[in-house]
Structure 1
Amino acid sequence: MTYCAIDFGTSNSAVAVPVGGPTADQATLKLAPVEGAYTTLPTAVFFNTDENTRAYGRAALEAYIDGFDGRLMRSMKSILGSALADNPTDLGDGSAIRYTDVIAIFITHLKRCAEQTAGTPISRAVLGRPVFFVDDDPRADQLAQQQLEAAARSVGLSEIHFQYEPIAAAFDYEAHLTHEGLVLVADIGGGTSDFSLVRVGPERMQRLERKDDVLAHHGVHVAGTDFDRRVELATVLRELGYQSLDPDGREVPNRIYFDLATWHLINTVYTPKRVSELGLMRHLYSNTKHHDRLMRVVEQRFGHALAAHAEEAKIGVAAGGETLIDLEIVEEDLRLAFDEAQLIAAGKDETHRIVQAARETVQRAGVAPREVDALYFTGGSTGLAFLSGALAAAFPDARPVFGDRLASVATGLGIHAQRVFQ
């Protein structure tokens, strides 16, 4: 019974373990508390150089917002498969660490939480993975899994199995079924939107080998963080000069803005060389107030805070109504109104790509959209009503079913682990 199931997500993570019962097949699956009483936590680590400590999840975000010196790392999963994954990154105190080592540190935290719940050391695990870590690049996709597996092995997990995250979600859905059917699982998280068309049913769920039941899977590297980026570019960063014009009517260079809107690149804009170069660009801004704000952000290292404000605005609008984006840290009394219409417009291209990926999944299986019995939503970004609505409209005959947005994949991975290790 020394095993666990780890859902290492771009935005949120969780881990399931078997508890009780003398054997694995008689044990009950349980999501381990991973931050206080919470069974899910944001995938974030804060290296506190003030106090020489580390914080995880919500505590990591709070420590960063409270102004402690250090480095906040989020969305680490999104760099898997790239050369950047094995590169060192500065922690803010003169020391450096590889991104893959940060991932190992975070997996260590999940493993320890699982061991505390199980009451025993754990050396075996099922890990979830997206259908594609990297779009249209099989070699990079394979490298991403190898990097994740190496990180897991480095922290003491000696036997590792992988399962596609949307298929794991299908296992969780299947446990509640009374009849057979076709379900299109839409697992839309922070970094990827993954789809699997799976034949499910109470009799099929007893089989360990389910390859023949997976009719097709497909995915795109577009999800929640891409909507965050679009929101920030469309609102916050326009106040800093994004898409503004120089005195000759040309658009100012935009790389700085895309870097500021991408979590794992934000730190790159703070180097002395980059700050100096930006300072010399003041003459390019017709409205010099934009440049003043931009320099204040890079000099005071407000990039992650602005990205967090954009994410909060997306979440606030998704919950209903409109919200205000407070940019007091940039300039006194600077606030921006933001509503659902702006959110839909900002993420129009991303929504289209995600819906097209869902359609292509069904097409690859040779199944007509009307033959899909259910559309099962999981992943944090399925909380965006306009996105889940667009997907439902593409399959009007399918019954929309909403799983636990943050925990159904971990639960399904646990079901798979129970079958693999029993």
Structure 2
Amino acid sequence: MPIGFDYGTANCSVAQSVNGQVTPIAVEGTHTLIPSTLCAPSSETVSEYLFRILDIKPSDNLGESLLRRAISQNREEGLIVRDDDVKFGREALALYLEDPKEVYYVKSPKSFLGAMGLRDMQLSFFEDLVCAMMANVRQRAENGLGREVNRTVIGRPINFLGRGGDASNIQAEGILKRAAHRAGFFDVEFQFEPVAAGLDFEASLTEDKTVLVVDIGGGTTDCSMLHMGPSYRGQIDRSASLLAHSGQMVGGNDLDINTAFHRFMSEFGLGSETTGGLPMPNIQFWNSIAINDVQAQRAFYAHDNLGLLRSLHKESAEPQKLARLMQLQRETLGYAVVREAEQSKIALSDSAHYRAHLDLLNEQLAIEVTATQMEQAVSNPTEKIKRLVKEAIVESGIQPDVIYMTGGSAKSSFLTSAVKEVVPNTPIVSGNHFGSVTAGLARWAELIYR
């Protein structure tokens, strides 16, 4: 049976389409969305878990080397991998929040897949991470449907990163495809995420229209200008109706990170000075919460960086704040800080004020955030999103009849207003923010695998 699989930065979801009727599949209890998170006793646990518990072998010699190293490391540390050692979704988040220091936790590995300059062993490990998550979702889908699921269409952004170009996209798609094959999908195809969202919107159209799809997801914003409607519905070759695309790594994660940086990090020393009047280096505060930048996270959580933080603490005119940054580093609390920024973003969609709460284990911080402050904090990513909308319009050379906004972050009213500034005279509609991409992928899967 074919399914549509949205392996998203924020969440994963799957759906099936039968005779044009799309049914989302529950993948975590009754939930049709499972957060794109994984938690394990150590990073090495993941590779051995795939091999020993799921009977999933490495895809190449490099993967075999990674596995051997992981098994050796686990034995040295006395770790025996068990079938419940790797947690996913809400379970993973709960375990991390319970004791951040004692577990390996990763959110949104999709954000790392197109990163350039990584070692081959790192790329092989990312493949293991993705494979473990995909195998988990596939098993849950099969349990829900009561039958085997082995064909899929996976969504992908226009560009996985804003830099790296085709090489970045090829690398990322290659990781996803190898991971999906290892997870048990023998037929794997890809579809652009905004095109998939458009396919779902097209099912509701009674006349042909030129549609600008703006998909603001957790990791990327993607725009596609498309001819859609009854004349195009059901066609496998849609090349003539795909007019323009734009996309960049800017999405919900960036909104959350920027909110955390501008509204929370002053409590950790951002903007403070040394006793000699010199400003504290911004890079330490940014790297601590840049959860979508593997190099930044590696630099901040490196063992020798703690020595540098200690030096800054000694020199600080506000040492109590730098002590919090050291605590964040020691206890790996960056994900928790960004998560509270995400909660702020969600709350401020419906309210003008929100009191954020940061749990630093030995201290509780309450920080007031207003909707206006958050909009100011995310002005940089917001401007990037506006430029992507303009780029798609300019590249297509035409104005859309309608703008279809989707993606979890598109629920934020200030982003709708930002898009409206670019195309003030075009109606904006929205559908299922969290399900339109998945539904479109399911429709495409039914069409191409029939």
* Length-normalised TM-score, structure 1: 0.90
AA partner of residue 219 (structure 2): G
Structure 2 distance, partners of 1:13, 1:381, is: 15
Report which stretch shifted further, 163-172 or 232-241. Answer: 232-241
Which residue of structure 2 lines up, in the alignment, with residue 23 of structure 1?
A: none
In 2, the alpha carbon distance for the partners of 1:285 and 1:231 equals 24
2:32 corresponds to which of 24, 30, 39: 39
What are the ranges of 5 or more consecutive residues in structure 2 without an aligned counterpart? 43-78
User: Aligned runs of 1:288-307 on 2, under 5 Å?
Assistant: 288-307=319-338
**Partner of residue 343, structure 1:** 374
Shift of 1:331: 6.3
Shift of 1:296: 2.1
Quote the Cα distance in structure 2 between the aligned partners of 1:169 and 1:192: 14
Post-superposition offset of 1:197: 0.5
The worse-fitting range, judged by mean Cα deviation, of 271-280 and 4-13 is: 271-280
- Secondary structure of the residue aligned to 1:161 is strand
**Aligned-partner SS, 2:390:** helix
2:52 corresponding residue in structure 1: none
Q: Which amino acid aligns with 2:104?
A: R
What SS is found at the alignment partner of 1:388?
helix
Match of 2:136 in 1: 109
Q: How far 1:18 sits from its partner (Å)?
A: 4.2
- Residue of structure 1 equivalent to 2:7: 8
- Unaligned regions of 5+ residues in structure 1, if any? 20-25, 90-96
1:363 matched to 2:386: no
Instruction: Indicate how the Cα distance of structure 1 residues 86 and 116 shifts in structure 2: closer, same or farther if over 3 A, else same.
Output: farther
Aligned partner of residue 99 in structure 2, secondary structure: coil
Of all paired residues, the percent bearing the same amino acid is: 28
> How far did 1:195 drift?
0.1
Aligned residues of 2:38 and 2:105 also touching (Cα < 8 A): yes
Residue in 2 aligned with 1:62? 94
Correspondence list, 1:75-94, <5 A: 75-82=108-115, 83-84=117-118, 86-88=120-122
Q: What is the Cα deviation at residue 308 of structure 1?
A: 1.4
**How much has 1:150 moved relative to structure 2?**
1.3
Pairing 1:206-245 to 2, within 5 Å after superposition: 206-245=234-273
How far apart are 1:352 and its partner, in Å?
A: 0.9
Counterpart of 2:395, as a letter, is R
Measured in 2, the distance between the counterparts of 1:250 and 1:302 equals 27
**Amino acid corresponding to residue 353 of structure 2 in structure 1:** E
Paired AA for residue 105 in structure 1: A
Q: Classify 1:132/1:409 alpha carbon distance in 2 versus 1 (closer, same or farther; 3 Å).
A: same
CA distance in 1, matches of 2:136, 2:404: 30
**CA 1:375–1:269 in structure 2 vs 1: closer, same or farther (change >3 Å)?**
same
Determine whether 1:134 maps to 2:161. yes
Checking the alignment, whether the CA contact within 8 Å between 1:14 and 1:410 is kept in structure 2 is yes
**Counterpart Cα distance in 2 of 1:399 and 1:268:** 45
Instruction: Summarize the alignment of residues 11-410 of structure 1 with structure 2, pairs less than 5 Å apart.
Output: 11-18=10-17, 26=19, 28-48=21-41, 53-67=85-99, 69-82=102-115, 83-84=117-118, 86-88=120-122, 98-136=125-163, 137-263=165-291, 264=294, 265-266=296-297, 269-329=300-360, 332=363, 334-367=365-398, 371-410=399-438
Aligned-partner residue type, residue 278 of structure 2: R
Letter in 2 for 1:55: K
Contact 1:313–1:338, Cα closer than 8 Å, also in 2 = yes
Number of residue pairs the alignment of both structures matches: 405
**SS of the residue 1:376 aligns to:** strand
Indicate the residue corresponding to 1:92 in structure 2: none
Q: Distance in 2 between matches of 1:202 and 1:185?
A: 17
* TM-score normalised over the length of structure 2: 0.85
Do the aligned partners of 2:327 and 2:360 also contact (CA within 8 Å) in 1? no
Quick one: which amino acid aligns to residue 316 of structure 2?
A: Y
1:267 to 1:130, Cα distance in 2 relative to 1, 3 A: same
Contact 1:86–1:100 under 8 Å retained in 2: no
Does 387-396 or 209-218 show the bigger shift?
A: 387-396
Alpha-carbon offset, residue 148 of structure 1: 1.2
1:415 counterpart (409, 426, 443) = 443
Shift of 1:38: 0.8
What CA distance in whole angstroms lies between the structure 2 residues aligned with 1:85 and 1:117?
A: 38
